[in-house]
């Protein structure tokens, strides 16, 4: 994996973390 | 580059780190596979507890730990890349950054548990929280070993033990650190997000 690819994965996972935190706070992931 | 697992054993590539760390990683993954099985069995038997359980946890603590581990892991990627270019000072800086971010994990966990207890989320709060404490504290133990490993490779880097030609120990610490990161990426949605 190149550094550029690692950076893309890092940014993607940070974005998913933010989305997860939002869902966790709002209970929006109910039923999953 | 570090040596392959055994002379002649690898012809089409190279295994990063060393054989010992991959045995350890395999054991850790099996251990957490069992723990996640416990999670699913408990969830199947007590769906109501798992539906409402995340409501009482501090989502911001889980998300902060996720960001800390992801960013710390990225720093270790940069550290390994730096040593492959023989940039030892840059390698040490990246490892120390990874270590500093990693140390944020037990710090956040300390405040999270204090917050939990203040809000009645202790080991008597129910099955969901029992599984939560069992898995997350077990993960904290593994992260603590990773932090010790990062400290060790920081010292080794500082005394010039690694080079572009030989840095298997540094790679071993990095892959173990990534493993604890990946496991947390399962724990975070299981306990803080999904219902």
DSSP string covering B96-152 = HHHHHHHHHHHHHHHHHHHHHHHTT-STTS-HHHHHHHHHHHHHHHHHHHHHHHHHH
Please answer yes or no on whether A13 and B60 come within 8 Å at the CB atom. no
Please state, in angstroms and as integers, the Cα–Cα distance from residue B116 to each residue in B15, B70, B125, following that order: 42, 24, 10
The partner residue sitting opposite A27, judged by closest CB among B55, B60, B189, is B55
- Section B89-111 average pLDDT: 98
B132-173 pLDDT, tens per residue?
Answer: 999 999 999 999 999 999 999 999 999 999 999 999 999 999
- Retrieve residue B48's tokens: 């109501």
Nearest Cα residue in chain B from A24: B193
ipTM for this model: 0.83
Contact (CB, 8 A) for B94 and B74:
no
Task: Say how far apart CA B4 and CA B11 lie, in whole Å.
Answer: 9
Contacts of residue B49, Cβ cutoff 8 Å, sequence gap at least 6: B42, B126, B127, B128
Residues of B with Cβ-Cβ distance to A14 under 8 angstroms: 67, 70-71
In this predicted structure, what is the pLDDT of residue B9? 53
Taking the CA atoms of B193, B184, B44 and B53 in sequence, report the sign of the dihedral they define. Answer: negative
Task: Say how far apart CA B47 and CA B195 lie, in whole Å.
Answer: 9
Please answer yes or no on whether A24 and B193 come within 8 Å at the CB atom. yes
B4-26 pLDDT, tens per residue?
Answer: 555 545 556 788 999 999 999 99
Mark out chain A residues that contact chain B at CB-CB < 8 A: 3, 6-7, 10, 13-14, 17-18, 20-21, 23-25, 27, 29-32
Please state, in angstroms and as integers, the Cα–Cα distance from residue A32 to each residue in A24, A28, B161, following that order: 12, 9, 49
In this predicted structure, what is the pLDDT of residue B13? 76
Please answer yes or no on whether B194 and A3 come within 8 Å at the CB atom. no
Low-confidence stretches of chain A (pLDDT < 50) are 31
Contacts of residue B106, Cβ cutoff 8 Å, sequence gap at least 6: B140, B143, B144, B147
The partner residue sitting opposite A27, judged by closest CB among B73, B189, B195, is B195
Please answer yes or no on whether B195 and A32 come within 8 Å at the CB atom. yes
Contact (CB, 8 A) for B68 and B101:
yes
Residues 52-81 of B with CB under 8 A from A: 54-55, 59-60, 62-63, 66-67, 70-71, 73-74, 77-78, 81
Please answer yes or no on whether B63 and A13 come within 8 Å at the CB atom. no
Contact (CB, 8 A) for B59 and B194:
no
Please answer yes or no on whether A21 and B192 come within 8 Å at the CB atom. yes
B54-90 pLDDT, tens per residue?
Answer: 999 999 999 999 999 999 999 999 999 999 999 999 9
* Backbone angles phi and psi of B42, in degrees to 5: -65, -40
Please answer yes or no on whether B74 and A6 come within 8 Å at the CB atom. yes
């Amino acid at each position: 994996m190149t550094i550029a690819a690692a950076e893309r994965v890092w940014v993607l996972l940070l974005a998913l973390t933010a989305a997860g935190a939002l869902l966790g706070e709002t209970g929006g992931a109910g039923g999953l | 580059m570090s040596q392959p697992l055994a002379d002649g054993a690898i012809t089409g590539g190279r295994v990063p780190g060393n054989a010992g760390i991959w045995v350890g990683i395999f054991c850790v993954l099996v251990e957490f596979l069992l723990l996640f099985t416990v999670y699913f069995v408990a969830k199947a038997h007590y769906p109501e507890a798992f539906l409402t359980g995340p409501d009482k946890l501090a989502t911001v603590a889980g998300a902060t730990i996720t960001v800390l581990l992801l960013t710390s892991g990225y720093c270790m990627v940069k550290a390994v890349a730096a040593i492959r270019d023989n940039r030892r000072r840059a390698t040490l800086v990246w490892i120390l950054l990874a270590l500093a971010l990693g140390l944020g994990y037990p710090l956040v966990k300390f405040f999270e548990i204090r917050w939990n207890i203040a809000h009645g989320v202790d080991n008597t709060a129910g099955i969901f929280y029992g599984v939560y404490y069992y898995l997350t504290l077990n993960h904290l133990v593994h992260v603590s070993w990773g932090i010790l490993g990062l400290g060790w490779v920081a010292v080794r880097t500082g005394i010039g033990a690694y080079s572009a030609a030989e840095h298997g120990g540094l790679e071993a610490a990095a892959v173990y650190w990534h493993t604890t990161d990946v496991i947390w990426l399962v724990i975070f949605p299981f306990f803080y997000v999904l219902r």
